[in-house]
Structure 1
Protein backbone atom coordinates (compact mmCIF):
# COMPACT_ATOMS: atom_id res chain seq x y z
CA UNK A 1 0.00 0.00 0.00
CA UNK A 2 2.91 2.36 -0.67
CA UNK A 3 2.82 6.12 -1.21
CA UNK A 4 0.14 6.99 1.36
CA UNK A 5 0.95 10.43 2.80
CA UNK A 6 -0.36 11.93 6.06
CA UNK A 7 0.45 15.14 7.96
CA UNK A 8 0.54 13.43 11.36
CA UNK A 9 0.94 10.00 12.92
CA UNK A 10 -1.89 7.54 12.41
CA UNK A 11 -3.46 6.00 15.51
CA UNK A 12 -1.55 2.75 14.83
CA UNK A 13 1.81 4.52 14.54
CA UNK A 14 1.07 6.64 17.60
CA UNK A 15 0.43 3.47 19.60
CA UNK A 16 3.52 1.72 18.19
CA UNK A 17 5.77 4.65 19.06
CA UNK A 18 4.57 4.86 22.64
CA UNK A 19 6.86 1.95 23.45
CA UNK A 20 10.57 1.46 22.89
CA UNK A 21 10.89 0.68 19.19
CA UNK A 22 13.73 0.27 16.70
CA UNK A 23 13.83 3.22 14.28
CA UNK A 24 16.45 4.95 12.19
CA UNK A 25 17.01 8.68 11.98
CA UNK A 26 18.58 10.45 9.02
CA UNK A 27 20.29 13.79 9.56
CA UNK A 28 22.64 15.95 7.53
CA UNK A 29 26.22 15.60 8.77
CA UNK A 30 27.31 18.99 10.13
CA UNK A 31 30.88 18.51 8.93
CA UNK A 32 30.49 16.89 5.50
CA UNK A 33 26.96 17.87 4.45
CA UNK A 34 26.30 14.24 3.55
CA UNK A 35 23.23 12.34 4.74
CA UNK A 36 23.88 10.06 7.69
CA UNK A 37 21.69 7.40 9.32
CA UNK A 38 21.68 6.13 12.92
CA UNK A 39 19.59 3.52 14.70
CA UNK A 40 17.87 4.52 17.96
CA UNK A 41 15.36 2.90 20.30
CA UNK A 42 14.55 5.31 23.15
CA UNK A 43 11.55 6.88 21.49
CA UNK A 44 8.10 8.02 22.59
CA UNK A 45 5.28 9.60 20.57
CA UNK A 46 3.83 12.31 22.82
CA UNK A 47 1.01 12.97 20.38
CA UNK A 48 0.26 12.72 16.66
CA UNK A 49 2.64 15.61 15.87
CA UNK A 50 5.51 15.01 18.31
CA UNK A 51 7.95 12.12 18.50
CA UNK A 52 10.40 12.48 21.37
CA UNK A 53 13.66 10.55 21.58
CA UNK A 54 16.78 10.35 23.73
CA UNK A 55 20.38 9.96 22.61
CA UNK A 56 23.84 10.33 24.10
CA UNK A 57 24.52 14.05 24.49
CA UNK A 58 27.92 13.61 22.79
CA UNK A 59 26.37 12.03 19.70
CA UNK A 60 27.05 13.49 16.26
CA UNK A 61 23.25 13.55 15.87
CA UNK A 62 23.12 16.50 18.30
CA UNK A 63 25.67 18.49 16.28
CA UNK A 64 23.84 17.64 13.07
CA UNK A 65 20.45 18.79 14.38
CA UNK A 66 21.93 22.05 15.67
CA UNK A 67 23.30 22.74 12.20
CA UNK A 68 20.29 21.44 10.20
CA UNK A 69 17.11 20.58 12.13
CA UNK A 70 15.28 18.91 9.23
CA UNK A 71 15.38 15.15 9.76
CA UNK A 72 13.72 11.98 8.57
CA UNK A 73 12.91 8.98 10.74
CA UNK A 74 12.22 5.50 9.36
CA UNK A 75 9.74 3.32 11.23
CA UNK A 76 9.06 -0.31 10.34
CA UNK A 77 5.65 -1.20 11.73
CA UNK A 78 2.15 -2.33 10.86
CA UNK A 79 3.46 -4.42 7.94
CA UNK A 80 5.04 -1.46 6.17
CA UNK A 81 7.85 1.10 6.22
CA UNK A 82 7.14 4.74 7.08
CA UNK A 83 9.18 7.90 6.68
CA UNK A 84 8.45 10.58 9.29
CA UNK A 85 9.81 13.96 8.27
CA UNK A 86 9.96 17.17 10.21
CA UNK A 87 11.98 19.59 12.27
CA UNK A 88 13.92 18.35 15.30
CA UNK A 89 14.52 20.50 18.37
CA UNK A 90 16.74 19.71 21.33
CA UNK A 91 14.41 20.16 24.29
CA UNK A 92 16.90 19.15 27.00
CA UNK A 93 20.68 19.16 26.60
CA UNK A 94 20.85 16.85 29.62
CA UNK A 95 17.93 14.77 30.89
CA UNK A 96 17.58 14.89 34.66
CA UNK A 97 17.07 11.74 36.77
CA UNK A 98 18.84 9.50 34.26
CA UNK A 99 22.31 8.13 35.09
CA UNK A 100 23.61 8.46 31.51
CA UNK A 101 24.34 11.79 29.86
CA UNK A 102 21.43 11.86 27.42
CA UNK A 103 19.79 14.66 25.47
CA UNK A 104 16.08 14.85 24.66
CA UNK A 105 14.92 15.79 21.17
CA UNK A 106 11.41 16.46 19.88
CA UNK A 107 10.64 15.77 16.24
CA UNK A 108 7.71 17.92 15.08
CA UNK A 109 6.19 15.72 12.41
CA UNK A 110 5.13 17.48 9.21
CA UNK A 111 4.81 14.44 6.94
CA UNK A 112 4.25 10.71 7.39
CA UNK A 113 4.76 8.74 4.22
CA UNK A 114 4.22 5.04 3.62
CA UNK A 115 7.37 4.26 1.59
CA UNK A 116 6.94 0.52 1.19
CA UNK A 117 7.48 -0.59 -2.38
CA UNK A 118 4.38 -1.52 -4.37
CA UNK A 119 2.83 -4.94 -3.97
CA UNK A 120 4.53 -5.97 -0.73
CA UNK A 121 3.82 -6.24 2.97
CA UNK A 122 6.39 -6.91 5.69
CA UNK A 123 5.77 -10.14 7.55
CA UNK A 124 8.06 -9.42 10.50
CA UNK A 125 9.38 -6.32 12.24
CA UNK A 126 12.99 -5.88 13.39
CA UNK A 127 13.56 -7.16 16.91
CA UNK A 128 16.50 -6.40 19.15
CA UNK A 129 17.80 -7.44 22.54
CA UNK A 130 20.00 -5.61 24.98
CA UNK A 131 23.43 -7.23 25.19
CA UNK A 132 24.40 -5.84 28.58
CA UNK A 133 23.16 -6.65 32.09
CA UNK A 134 19.44 -7.41 31.73
CA UNK A 135 18.48 -5.93 35.09
CA UNK A 136 20.51 -2.76 34.53
CA UNK A 137 19.05 -2.40 31.02
CA UNK A 138 15.48 -2.69 32.32
CA UNK A 139 16.14 -0.11 35.05
CA UNK A 140 17.78 2.33 32.62
CA UNK A 141 15.04 1.84 30.01
CA UNK A 142 12.39 2.63 32.60
CA UNK A 143 14.20 5.80 33.71
CA UNK A 144 14.66 7.04 30.14
CA UNK A 145 11.11 6.22 29.04
CA UNK A 146 9.68 7.95 32.13
CA UNK A 147 11.70 11.07 31.27
CA UNK A 148 10.48 10.98 27.67
CA UNK A 149 6.84 10.69 28.78
CA UNK A 150 6.99 13.91 30.84
Structure 2
Protein backbone atom coordinates (compact mmCIF):
# COMPACT_ATOMS: atom_id res chain seq x y z
CA UNK A 1 0.00 0.00 0.00
CA UNK A 2 1.42 3.40 -0.94
CA UNK A 3 2.20 6.01 1.70
CA UNK A 4 -0.65 8.35 0.75
CA UNK A 5 -3.23 5.55 0.97
CA UNK A 6 -1.83 4.51 4.36
CA UNK A 7 -2.11 8.14 5.45
CA UNK A 8 -5.80 8.20 4.50
CA UNK A 9 -6.45 4.83 6.13
CA UNK A 10 -4.93 5.90 9.45
CA UNK A 11 -6.13 9.52 9.19
CA UNK A 12 -2.53 10.71 9.33
CA UNK A 13 -2.43 13.68 6.99
CA UNK A 14 1.01 14.19 5.52
CA UNK A 15 2.78 15.92 2.67
CA UNK A 16 2.42 12.71 0.63
CA UNK A 17 -1.37 13.03 0.83
CA UNK A 18 -1.28 16.73 -0.08
CA UNK A 19 0.99 16.14 -3.09
CA UNK A 20 -1.08 13.17 -4.28
CA UNK A 21 -4.26 15.24 -3.94
CA UNK A 22 -2.69 18.18 -5.79
CA UNK A 23 -1.37 16.03 -8.64
CA UNK A 24 -4.63 14.07 -8.95
CA UNK A 25 -6.67 17.27 -8.85
CA UNK A 26 -4.49 18.90 -11.51
CA UNK A 27 -4.86 15.84 -13.73
CA UNK A 28 -8.64 15.77 -13.22
CA UNK A 29 -9.01 19.40 -14.34
CA UNK A 30 -6.63 18.88 -17.26
CA UNK A 31 -3.69 20.87 -15.90
CA UNK A 32 -1.02 18.37 -16.95
CA UNK A 33 1.91 20.79 -16.77
CA UNK A 34 0.93 21.82 -13.23
CA UNK A 35 0.68 18.16 -12.19
CA UNK A 36 4.15 17.55 -13.57
CA UNK A 37 5.56 20.63 -11.87
CA UNK A 38 4.09 19.63 -8.50
CA UNK A 39 5.46 16.09 -8.83
CA UNK A 40 8.88 17.41 -9.91
CA UNK A 41 9.05 19.90 -7.05
CA UNK A 42 8.07 17.18 -4.58
CA UNK A 43 10.88 14.90 -5.83
CA UNK A 44 13.42 17.74 -5.69
CA UNK A 45 12.16 18.70 -2.22
CA UNK A 46 12.48 15.11 -1.00
CA UNK A 47 16.04 14.93 -2.35
CA UNK A 48 16.96 18.23 -0.67
CA UNK A 49 15.36 17.07 2.57
CA UNK A 50 17.37 13.82 2.57
CA UNK A 51 20.59 15.69 1.78
CA UNK A 52 19.94 18.29 4.47
CA UNK A 53 18.97 15.65 7.03
CA UNK A 54 22.26 13.82 6.53
CA UNK A 55 24.25 17.04 6.95
CA UNK A 56 22.21 17.95 10.02
CA UNK A 57 22.82 14.55 11.60
CA UNK A 58 26.54 14.96 11.01
CA UNK A 59 26.51 18.47 12.53
CA UNK A 60 24.49 17.37 15.56
CA UNK A 61 26.88 14.49 16.10
CA UNK A 62 29.81 16.92 16.01
CA UNK A 63 28.04 19.22 18.48
CA UNK A 64 27.29 16.33 20.83
CA UNK A 65 30.98 15.56 20.95
CA UNK A 66 31.67 18.99 22.46
CA UNK A 67 28.51 19.40 24.59
CA UNK A 68 28.70 19.39 28.39
CA UNK A 69 27.19 16.49 30.32
CA UNK A 70 24.77 18.70 32.30
CA UNK A 71 23.29 22.19 32.02
CA UNK A 72 20.52 24.26 33.56
CA UNK A 73 18.42 25.95 30.89
CA UNK A 74 15.25 27.99 30.55
CA UNK A 75 13.44 27.01 27.32
CA UNK A 76 11.40 29.55 25.40
CA UNK A 77 8.53 27.62 23.80
CA UNK A 78 6.29 30.62 23.14
CA UNK A 79 6.27 30.02 19.39
CA UNK A 80 3.84 27.11 19.83
CA UNK A 81 2.39 27.49 23.34
CA UNK A 82 1.88 31.25 23.44
CA UNK A 83 3.34 31.47 26.95
CA UNK A 84 3.91 35.11 28.00
CA UNK A 85 7.42 34.40 29.39
CA UNK A 86 9.99 31.62 29.00
CA UNK A 87 9.30 28.64 31.25
CA UNK A 88 11.78 26.68 33.32
CA UNK A 89 11.88 23.04 32.30
CA UNK A 90 13.29 20.02 34.07
CA UNK A 91 14.41 16.63 32.83
CA UNK A 92 11.48 14.75 31.31
CA UNK A 93 9.37 17.89 30.67
CA UNK A 94 7.70 18.33 27.28
CA UNK A 95 9.12 20.90 24.86
CA UNK A 96 7.97 21.65 21.32
CA UNK A 97 9.85 22.08 18.06
CA UNK A 98 10.99 25.68 17.84
CA UNK A 99 11.70 25.86 21.57
CA UNK A 100 14.81 27.93 22.20
CA UNK A 101 17.15 27.59 25.17
CA UNK A 102 17.63 31.00 26.77
CA UNK A 103 21.14 29.97 27.74
CA UNK A 104 23.20 26.78 27.85
CA UNK A 105 22.35 23.57 26.01
CA UNK A 106 19.18 21.55 25.83
CA UNK A 107 19.07 17.83 25.08
CA UNK A 108 15.74 16.63 23.75
CA UNK A 109 14.25 13.42 22.39
CA UNK A 110 11.80 13.67 19.51
CA UNK A 111 8.60 11.85 20.48
CA UNK A 112 6.73 13.03 17.39
CA UNK A 113 8.06 13.64 13.89
CA UNK A 114 6.55 14.32 10.48
CA UNK A 115 2.79 13.92 10.39
CA UNK A 116 2.61 13.37 14.17
CA UNK A 117 3.83 16.88 15.05
CA UNK A 118 1.55 19.62 16.37
CA UNK A 119 2.27 21.76 13.28
CA UNK A 120 1.28 18.99 10.90
CA UNK A 121 -1.91 18.24 12.82
CA UNK A 122 -2.91 21.90 12.49
CA UNK A 123 -1.60 22.91 9.03
CA UNK A 124 -2.30 19.95 6.75
CA UNK A 125 -5.95 19.39 7.74
CA UNK A 126 -6.42 23.17 7.57
CA UNK A 127 -5.35 23.23 3.93
CA UNK A 128 -7.71 20.37 3.08
CA UNK A 129 -10.62 22.00 4.94
CA UNK A 130 -9.96 25.35 3.21
CA UNK A 131 -10.05 23.64 -0.18
CA UNK A 132 -13.28 21.82 0.66
CA UNK A 133 -14.90 25.06 1.85
CA UNK A 134 -13.83 26.78 -1.38
CA UNK A 135 -15.35 23.89 -3.35
CA UNK A 136 -18.63 24.03 -1.39
CA UNK A 137 -18.95 27.79 -1.78
CA UNK A 138 -17.92 28.13 -5.42
CA UNK A 139 -18.86 24.68 -6.75
CA UNK A 140 -15.74 25.12 -8.91
CA UNK A 141 -12.99 22.52 -8.54
CA UNK A 142 -10.50 24.86 -10.21
CA UNK A 143 -10.98 27.44 -7.47
CA UNK A 144 -10.89 24.80 -4.72
CA UNK A 145 -7.62 23.30 -5.90
CA UNK A 146 -5.94 26.66 -6.37
CA UNK A 147 -7.18 28.34 -3.17
CA UNK A 148 -4.94 26.36 -0.87
Q: Which TM-score band (shorter chain)?
A: under 0.3
Structure showing the higher helix proportion among its residues: 2
In the superposition, the TM-score normalised over structure 2's length comes to: 0.23
Structure showing the higher strand proportion among its residues: 1
Which structure would you say has the larger Rg?
A: 2
In the superposition, the TM-score normalised over structure 1's length comes to: 0.22
Q: Which has the higher contact order (CA 8 A, sep 6+)?
A: 1
